[in-house]
Amino acid sequence: CSVHWCYDSQSQSCGPKHWKEIQSTCGGKSQSPINIDMSNVDRDNNLQHFVFEGYSTVPPGQWSIANNGHSVQVTLDTNVSISGGGLVGKYKALQLHFHWGNGLSYGSEHTINKKQYPMELHIVHMSERYTDIRDALKKTDGLAVLGFMLEVTETDNPNYNTLTDVLEKVSHQGDKVWLSSTFQLNSILPKVARLSQYYRYQGSLTTPNCSEAVVWSVFEEPISISKAQLMKFANTLYFSARGESEQKMQNNFRSPQPLNGRRVSASKD
Among 206, 217, 229, 267, binds ligand SG7 (CB under 6 A): 206
Buried/exposed 16-44: b ≥16 CB within 10 Å, e otherwise: bebbeebbebbebebbbbbbbeeeebeeb
In the complex, what is the shortest distance from the CB of residue 132 to ligand SG7, in angstroms, rounded to a whole number?
12
Q: Which does 124 bind (CB under 5 to 8 A by kind): Zn ion, ligand SG7, none?
A: ligand SG7
Contacting positions for Zn ion (CB under 5 A): 122
Nearest to 72 by CA among 245, 238, 242: 238
In the complex, what is the shortest distance from the CB of residue 122 to ligand SG7, in angstroms, rounded to a whole number?
4
What distance, in Å, lies between the first and last C-alpha atoms of the chain? 39
User: Do 246 and 238 contact (CB within 8 A), yes or no?
Assistant: yes
Among 23, 30, 67, 73, binds ligand SG7 (CB under 6 A): 73
The residue from 130, 198, 201, 238 that is catalytic is 130
The reply on whether position 122 binds ligand SG7 by CB under 6 A is: yes
The residue from 7, 55, 70, 198 that is catalytic is 70
Among 34, 47, 121, 124, binds ligand SG7 (CB under 6 A): 124
Three-state DSSP at 121 gives strand
**Residue 130 appears among annotated catalytic residues:** yes
Identify how many contiguous H helices and E strands the chain contains and give both numbers.
4, 15
Q: State the residues that interact with ligand SG7 by CB under 6 A.
A: 68, 70-71, 73, 95, 97, 122, 124, 145, 205-207
